[in-house]
A and B are shown apart, each in its own frame.
Chain A
Amino acid sequence: MVFINEKMNKESRLKATINQRLTELGERERLKELLRAKLTECGWKDQMKAHCKEVIREKGLEHVTVEDLVVEITPKGRALVPDSVKKELLQRIRAFLAQHAA
């Protein structure tokens, strides 16, 4: 048990550290911007907006809430990210880790 906890602690510590690193060095912001730009470029954003319109028409313009949108949009959004964008991002993250974690 202690092992698992320790392991988990280690992992979570590791994760925390890395996250901290990402933010400190500004890499997180850069990655965010990169992802947004790529998604807009490839038309993901327009696709999602169209989906939003449907949801809104469904729920009614006046009564739609943030939660409604989040619940409807996020799973679809995750699925619709193109493979190329996903691969590129993963690569950058790996590179960052390799540089700053090893």
Chain B
Amino acid sequence: MKMEDMPLSGPDNTKLEALVNDIYSELVEDACLGLCFEVHRAVKQGYFFLDETDQESMKEFEIVDQPGVDIFGQVYNQWKNKECECPNCKRLIAASRFAPHLEKCLGMGRNSSRIANRRLASNNNTSKSESDQEDNDDLNDNDWSYGAEKRAKKRKSDKSQNSPRRSKTLKHKNGELGSSMSADPYKYNYNAGINYEMLGPDEVRSFLTTQCGVISEHTKKMCTRSQRCPQHTDEQRMAVRVFLLGPSAPVLPEADSVAGPESFDIPDGQALMSRLQWEDSPEISPSDSASSKASTNHSDSRRPKKKKRPPLGLNSGGGIGSLSGGGGSGGSQTNISLSTKKKKPKLTAPSISSIYDDLN
């Protein structure tokens, strides 16, 4: 419908305004009427005064309108400026910092143990690398510098991933280095591992009966995972036990026969080396071993680009496997099947014993 008969000219503007106001008044009156009906119904139905029945509670919960206080009468950040005395160190700590302080002060809680382990690890590493440098000077000819690798690794570990406060970019870095799953358990071991040189022979023996114990070449720490830890092979575990407890020491619980040195032939060094190439076998690194520095495939997840062929493969993983095969009993056969399931190449009789003989 067209409104040609209503142009928006001067005098009509007022009319228009009047019209607008009329409409507005209608709307307001409508609202008022609505309210009246509502109230009247409430009165007649008896629920109009229902919220006023209990005078006492009305006074109790009255809205508070004072400055510095919310409508319930509570003070905001009341405990912010209060200080508490720590029961441990007797210091006065701010209330909001009290809980984290207690965690560190008492040595409980997730973070404090991580930090302590990390400190322990870095202390060990720094003291270790210094002492080892001189010992292994002439043994390091062809290989990358042990200390440098230690330093590099220490740098990496210093930017610890353990504390939740570290930067998030670290997460990406971990992911790049391979599956995070393999990286993280490794790092956990790195920090929580045991240095075999710190343990007495009895402790070592008892430790080795329950745990994997494979010594990481870089950190000289023994793997604290179970006997079945997927990162290390049974051959490696065997080699560690032989190394630490002597060739005649009882080794893995499931192996019936002791891996005796006399059961081995000594094949060509090169052949041995080529056969002892594992994808992901960490190295055993006795501190005075010649070839310890050579190994590399330490946990591919951590350093894939450093994968090198060890000149004298102290990758005893494969060696031990065949070693137990040479020993020949049911128990060791299970070892073989275990190891061959995990790793691809099969080895002929190795010369782990020969390597150790050299050392001795």
Contacts and interface: CB of A to CB of B under 8 A. Distances in A.
A90 B39 CA distance: 27
Nearest to A27: B23
B144 interface: no
A11 B15 contact: yes
Interface in B238-276: none
B20 A94 contact: yes
Given A22-B23, A94-B20, A102-B8, A77 B34 contact: no
Contact of B29 (A22, A64, A65, A74): A74
Interface residues of A, number: 38
Contacts of A89: 24, 27
A74 B27 contact: no
A49 B50 CA distance: 13
Interface string A1-34: 0000000001100110111001000000001100
Contact of B6 (A14, A19, A70, A94): A14
Instruction: Please indicate which of the listed interface residues B8, B19, B23, B43 has the most CB atoms of chain A within 10 Å of its own CB.
Output: B23
Nearest to B17: A94
Nearest to A52: B39
Interface size class of B (residues with CB under 8 A): 20 to 34
Contact of B32 (A18, A53, A64, A78): A78
Contacts, number: 87
B53 to A, nearest CB: 14
Given A17-B1, A74-B33, A102-B3, A31 B27 contact: yes
Interface in B1-37: 1, 3, 5-6, 8, 15-16, 19-25, 27-37
Contacts of B32: 48, 70, 73-74, 77-78
Contacts of B37: 66
Given A64-B40, A69-B40, A86-B24, A39 B16 contact: no
A18 B19 contact: yes
23 contacts: A10-B5, A14-B19, A15-B19, A17-B1, A18-B19, A32-B30, A32-B31, A36-B31, A36-B34, A53-B48, A56-B39, A56-B43, A61-B43, A64-B40, A64-B43, A66-B37, A69-B36, A69-B39, A70-B32, A77-B28, A77-B32, A97-B19, A97-B20
Complex A-B, nearest 8 residue pairs according to Cβ-Cβ distance, in ascending order: A77-B32, A69-B36, A74-B32, A52-B39, A93-B20, A66-B40, A70-B36, A93-B23
Interface of B: 1, 3, 5-6, 8, 15-16, 19-25, 27-37, 39-40, 43, 48-49
